[in-house]
Amino acid sequence: MATFAYVGKTRQGAVKKGELTAKTRDEAVDQLRKQNVIVTSLEEKQGGEGLGKLSFGSGIKDKDIVVFTRQFGTMINAGLPLVQCLDILGTQSENKVLGKAVTEVKTSVESGSTLADALRKHPKVFDELYVNMIHAGEVGGLLDTILGRLAKHIEKAMKLKGQIKSAMVYPSAIIGVAVIVITILMIWVIPIFAKMFAEMSGGKMGLPAPTQIVIDLSNFMKSYILFMIAGAIAAIVALKRYYKTPNGKLTIDRLLLKTPIFGDLIRKAAVAKFTRTLGTLITSGVPLLEGLSICAKTAGNKIIEIAIMDARISISGGKTIAEPLSKSNVFPKMVTHMIAVGESTGALDNMLGKIADFYEDEVDQAVAALTSLLEPIMMVFLGTIIGFIVIAMYLPIFQMASAIG
């Protein structure tokens, strides 16, 4: 049994918070639904978190899931029995963790379980989106078609994630190099110059202000470098722990969306992910309310998650999706207008697909523009710091040459 912290709204609109125990997230949602509580946030509380507990993930990459899904769909389309497909895939999988999970799924199916229920027992391998689409495929008799859509969806999600990572790698690398170079200069190089200046002047000549500043910083770093490293590690750990709290996640995610350069990119990526996921779910036959709940859980940003859950509450009250999304100020007006048109024409899934295509292209362009903008900024930043240190070290030499002349 796991413990879940929840935030929800009653039928009267009152906010309700608390904790409950359940085997799975779905069971927790069902319990709250029976209490007439519409869930807006549901977080599993992890026991024994801290420095002593390290998590290395499931060891399964998105690419492994894509290969498995495509092969599974091909076998089903060829007419192979479900259990035989799972047996072959579990045996031949190159990823041992995935192979073990598929073998356990096969055992559950042989015992009379549905494929969706068997997959649901492995949440670290098959997420809610995957399980619900498989369930829709089983019910509708379109399992091979659904598997093809799933593989295509995961590939597009991988591409979007890769674009975001590529936008973050360059500035992170430049800042990392700058920190390493400056640390080496300050701790090992500058003290040599300081000693040389003291010997050459015999302690009678004062150093220029820039030189003195650099030497003072060097002495400070030499004395407190271990404390600085410990402080940086403590700050990172504290920030991560704060981000795991509901208020911390809300605050940081709100700040990220307001960040001048990266905020727009994060917003566009979130819109592309939301519309692509919801469109795929609706096309596959997943009910709209359930689809919105899945999209909220996989949003990756608390502000966007709240906006989606407000849309879900609006739908359950007989209203439209577009209205609460437009009021959230998270989704661009073009998106909410296109969703409204899709709702009124009964072609919401097609409209969501068009929005996703548009914003995926927007993310492509934003990443390219961001990279071209950051490259000169980072070069100027690094050059200015290194240049200041070099000039500060040469100033005393020029001063001494002038005095000798």
Q: What is the enclosing helix (H) or strand (E) of 243?
A: helix 209-244
- How many CA atoms does the CB half-sphere of 9 hold within 13 Å? 13
- Token pair in block for residue 18: 């608390």
Report the distance separating Cα 25 and Cα 46, nearest Å: 13
Closest to 66 measured CA to CA, from 142, 163, 161: 161
- Token pair in block for residue 39: 């869930």
Report the distance separating Cα 131 and Cα 121, nearest Å: 10
Number of helices followed by number of strands (H, E) in the chain: 16, 3
- How many CA atoms does the CB half-sphere of 143 hold within 13 Å? 23
Report the distance separating Cα 33 and Cα 391, nearest Å: 68
Residue 17: C-alpha distances to residues 3, 10, 11, 42, 345 (Å): 14, 10, 14, 10, 38
Q: Residue 11 — φ and ψ, nearest 5°?
A: -60, -25
Residues of the chain with pLDDT under 50: 47-57
Q: pLDDT at position 230, please?
A: 95
Report the distance separating Cα 190 and Cα 170, nearest Å: 28
Which DSSP string corresponds to 127-175? -HHHHHHHHHHHHHT-HHHHHHHHHHHHHHHHHHHHHHHHHHHHHHHHH
Report the distance separating Cα 283 and Cα 342, nearest Å: 13
- Token pair 């995610």 is found at 253
Report the distance separating Cα 153 and Cα 277, nearest Å: 8
DSSP 202: T
Three-state DSSP at 398 gives: helix
* Long-range Cβ pairs for the range 327-335 (8 Å, 24+): 328/303, 330/257, 330/267, 330/270, 330/303, 330/304, 331/271, 331/307, 332/267, 332/271, 335/271, 335/275, 335/359
- Token pair in block for residue 138: 């089983």
Q: pLDDT at position 140, please?
A: 80
Q: Residue 23 — φ and ψ, nearest 5°?
A: -75, -40
Residue 234: C-alpha distances to residues 5, 173, 192, 240 (Å): 26, 22, 32, 10
| pTM for this predicted structure | 0.69
